[in-house]
Chain A
C-alpha cells in the first residue's frame, strides 16, 4: 500500500509545492478573476488593475449579477453551438480512437519499419494548424481537390466538403483526426508498452489468435489508458477552436461550424463583450464537468487495473 498515516499531507506537501504554487498563481487566480468578470458587462477594452483596492470597486461598478448567464441560456445561440460541438464529438471520437489505436499497434509491433512509422505518424502533430488547414482546404476542394478526384475513380461524386452546410463539420473532423491521431497514438502506445508480456506468452500457449488476444487481453488491460485518452480528447473537443478558425472563415457556410470556443473568442476579442464571454466559458466549464463526471462513472464500472 501507499504511504499512509496522519503525517500524509505533511509528507506530500513538499512534492506538491511547485505545482500547487504555479497552479494557484497562474491557473486558479485567473479562473477566479474570470468568475468575477462573468458577473459584469465589462467590454474588455478598458484598462483595469488587479490591485484589490481598485479591482473590487471596478467589479461593483460594472456588476450585472447573473444577467449574462440568463441571456446566454435563453438565446438559441448557446444551444445551437453546443449541438455543433456534440456533433463534432460524435463523429470525431470513434474515428480518432480507431486511427490512434491503429497507429499505436503499428508502432508498437516489433516488425521492420515500425520505427520509421513512429516518426512519420507524428509529423501532423508537429505541423501548425495554419499550414495544416491550408492543405486540408486544398485537399477537400470540391472540384480540383485530390480527395474528390480520388472518389471519382470509383464513380462517387464527392461532396462539397467545407463549402457545404452538411459536410463542413465532417471536414473539420477529418482534419482533426489527421492532426491528433499521432498524439493520442503515442499515449496509447505508452499503455501498450506497459502491458506485461507474460500475458501474451500465456495467451500464445493457449493458442489464442491475434483477434482474440487483442479483444481479450490488450483492450481490457488498456482500458485505463483508453479512458484517459477519451477524457482528454473530450475536454479538448469541447474546446475545439483553431482548426475552425483557420479552415472555415466566418464559421462555415451558414454558421455550420460555429462552436463554443469560437463564440467565446469572438465575444471576448471581436465584439467587446468580455463579461459575456467569461459567462459563456463558465457554462462551457459546467458542460465539460458533467461529461467528465459521467465518464468517471463509466471508468469505475469498466476499467480493470493491472494491480
Chain B
C-alpha cells in the first residue's frame, strides 16, 4: 500500500512539474515574420527524402527571411484521414500535399485556395504536371514531383536464355513470347513477367488496347466495351492461362520488387521510384524501356502536388513556399541529388544531372514515356470508384466471374454508386 501511495504522489508531482508544458506554445518570433504551417507525406525520414526536404526549406528560409516554415511530416497511411479531420475543423495547414488522385476530391469541396494570383513565373514547370492541378480552369496547386511506370528487365536472365532485350516497339505478345522462352530455358522458379490486374494497371492496359474506362467528356462509364473485356481477359490470362506471371498465392506474400531483386523475374512493370532500391540491391544487370502496349502505347502518370488552404491567412507567403519547393531550380537540384522521384521541371542542368545517373543506362526512357501519358480517370468519388473496379477485377482472377460478367456487373455498380 505504501508503495502504491508513493507512486501516486510521484506521478502527481511530475504532472505538476510538467504543467507549464501544457501551455499553448504559440510563440511569435517577431512582428514581421510569418509562420507557415506545412504538412506533407512524400518527404519521409524512413526513406531519406526527409533530409532533402529540410535542406530545401532551409534554403527557402534563407532567401525569405520574412517566412518561418513549420514542417509536419505524416505517414502516407493516415495522411488523408487526418487531413479530412482538419478540413472539417477548419484547421488545415497553410500548405499541404495532395496526390493527383485525391486532388479533385478536395478541389471540388471548395477547401483549396485559388493560387493563380500569387503564382510567379510557371514556365519552368512541366506543363502536363502543372495542368494536373488545375480544376475547372482554376490553378489550385503546383506539382512537386511526378513519376511514371516503365518496363524493368533483368539483363542477366535474358542473356542466359539467349533472348533479345526488350525494345520500345515491343507489344504484349512479344512479352509473352519472351517470357515463355526464358521460363522454358531457365526452368522452375523463374518467372517471365509481373504486372498485376489492379485498377491502376487496368486503366492503363485499357488505353494500351485502344479503349477507355469513361467516354470523352467524362459523363459516362464505358467499362464493359468489347476491347476492355479483351484487355481484362489478356491481363488475367498472364496469371491463369499463359502463366508467365505468378499468382498472388504463388507470390506467397513476397512483394514484386523483392521477386525482381532476388533475380527470379525477367520483366516487371513498376514505377521509376524503384531506381534507388534496385541500384542498391540488385546483384545483376538491369535496364528499362518504355512499357509495351497492345494496339497503342500508354504510360502511367503519378504526381504529388502542394496546395494552399482556402482558410490560410497568408496565401501569398504560402504560395511562395509551395512554388519554391515544387519548381525552383535550387529545390529541384536537391531533389535529384537525393534520388527523390522526378522534379516536374524543365531546367536543362537539373534534368541532365538526372539523366547522367546509372543504372539504368536507358534513363531517357523515363522522359520518352511521357509522350504516351494517360492520366487515370479522376472523379470526385475517386477512391470508391477504384475500389469497385478492383473488387471486380479480383473476381476474374479468382475465377468466380468471367471477364464479361465481371465488367458488366462493374459497369452497373459504378453507374448506381458513382455520380459523375
Determine direct contact between A and B, CB below 8 Å: yes
Binding site for B on A (CB under 8 A): 43-48, 137-138, 140-145, 160-165, 250, 253-255, 266, 269-273
A137: B residues at CB distance < 8 A: 253
A145: B residues at CB distance < 8 A: 252-253
Question: Is chain B's interface secondary structure helix, strand, loop, or mixed overall?
Answer: helix
Cα of A273 to Cα of B395 in the assembled complex, Å: 25
Contact of A254 among B87, B89, B398 (CB under 8 A): B398
Cα of A44 to Cα of B80 in the assembled complex, Å: 12
Contact of B249 among A45, A140, A164 (CB under 8 A): A164
A43: B residues at CB distance < 8 A: 109
B110: A residues at CB distance < 8 A: 46
Interface range, B side: 20 to 34
Indicate if the CB atoms of B252 and A141 lie closer than 8 Å: yes
Cα of A272 to Cα of B89 in the assembled complex, Å: 16
Indicate if the CB atoms of A163 and B90 lie closer than 8 Å: no
A142-B249, A145-B252, A270-B383 known; 18 new pairs, CB 8 Å cut-off, are A45-B84, A46-B87, A47-B89, A47-B311, A141-B253, A145-B253, A163-B251, A250-B390, A253-B394, A254-B398, A255-B391, A255-B394, A266-B387, A269-B84, A271-B384, A271-B387, A272-B383, A272-B384
B87: A residues at CB distance < 8 A: 45-47
B173 at the interface (CB under 8 A from A): no
A138: B residues at CB distance < 8 A: 253
Nearest B residue (CB) for A139: B253
Binding site for A on B (CB under 8 A): 80-81, 84, 87-90, 105-106, 109-111, 248-249, 251-254, 311, 380-381, 383-384, 387, 390-391, 394-395, 398, 400
Indicate if the CB atoms of B253 and A270 lie closer than 8 Å: no
B81: A residues at CB distance < 8 A: 269
Give, as a whole number of angstroms, the nearest-CB distance from A4 to chain B: 30
Counting from the closest, the 9 A-B pairs by CB-CB distance are A271-B384, A142-B252, A143-B252, A141-B253, A163-B249, A270-B383, A47-B90, A269-B81, A160-B249
Cα of A145 to Cα of B249 in the assembled complex, Å: 13
Cα of A47 to Cα of B90 in the assembled complex, Å: 6
Give, as a whole number of angstroms, the nearest-CB distance from A167 to chain B: 10
A-B contact pairs, 25 of them (CB 8 A): A44-B84, A45-B87, A45-B109, A46-B109, A46-B110, A46-B111, A47-B311, A138-B253, A141-B254, A142-B249, A143-B252, A144-B254, A145-B252, A145-B253, A162-B253, A163-B253, A164-B249, A165-B398, A250-B390, A254-B391, A254-B394, A271-B384, A272-B105, A272-B381, A273-B384
B80: A residues at CB distance < 8 A: 269-270
A266: B residues at CB distance < 8 A: 383, 387
